[in-house]
């Protein structure tokens, strides 16, 4: 069975401070990991995925297979980063790529 754990339900940081949203996973095969974001009153949208190895809006995430983690980081948080962040896992193979989501972390960036 696959599982995604986000230990922090709420996280508050001040503007300009570094932020790290934690994500750990368990999966017997090779997973693909994602971070999705939901801004207030908007739909869920992809922020980044591990295979792209890119930085989006200043956020990065590195897949650590040894620690089974995919933490999301940003060196200098901005107020517009306040949102709900979901870590998600998908099998790499298969005809339907269902996502298993973590429980989400509500990030608030304070002025």
* Residues within the interface to other proteins (CB under 8 A): 32, 34, 42-46, 49, 51, 84, 86, 92-93, 95-101, 103-104, 106
81: its two tokens: 């980063």
CB of 75 to other proteins, least distance (A): 25
Listed in sequence order, the residues at least 6 apart from 43 whose beta carbon sits closer than 8 Å to its beta carbon are none
CA 32 to CA 88: how far, in whole Å?
A: 8
What sign does the CA torsion over 100, 103, 104, 105 have? negative
Kindly tell me which of 33 and 109 has the beta carbon lying closer to other proteins. 33
The end-to-end CA distance of the chain, in Å, is 41
∠ Cα 11 15 21 (to 5°)? 30
CB of 34 to other proteins, least distance (A): 8
CB of 55 to other proteins, least distance (A): 17
CB of 60 to other proteins, least distance (A): 18
Kindly tell me which of 14 and 62 has the beta carbon lying closer to other proteins. 62
Kindly tell me which of 20 and 32 has the beta carbon lying closer to other proteins. 32
Kindly tell me which of 16 and 55 has the beta carbon lying closer to other proteins. 55
């Amino acid at each position: 069975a696959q599982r995604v754990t986000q230990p922090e339900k709420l996280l508050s940081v001040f503007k300009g401070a570094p932020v790290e949203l934690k994500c750990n996973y368990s999966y017997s095969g090779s997973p693909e990991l994602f971070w999705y974001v939901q801004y207030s009153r908007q739909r869920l949208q992809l922020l980044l995925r591990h295979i792209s190895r890119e930085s989006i809006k200043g956020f990065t995430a590195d897949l650590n297979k040894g620690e089974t983690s995919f933490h999301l980081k940003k060196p200098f948080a901005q107020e517009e980063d306040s949102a709900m962040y979901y870590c998600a896992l998908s099998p790499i193979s298969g005809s339907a790529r269902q996502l298993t989501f973590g429980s989400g972390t509500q990030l608030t960036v304070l002025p």
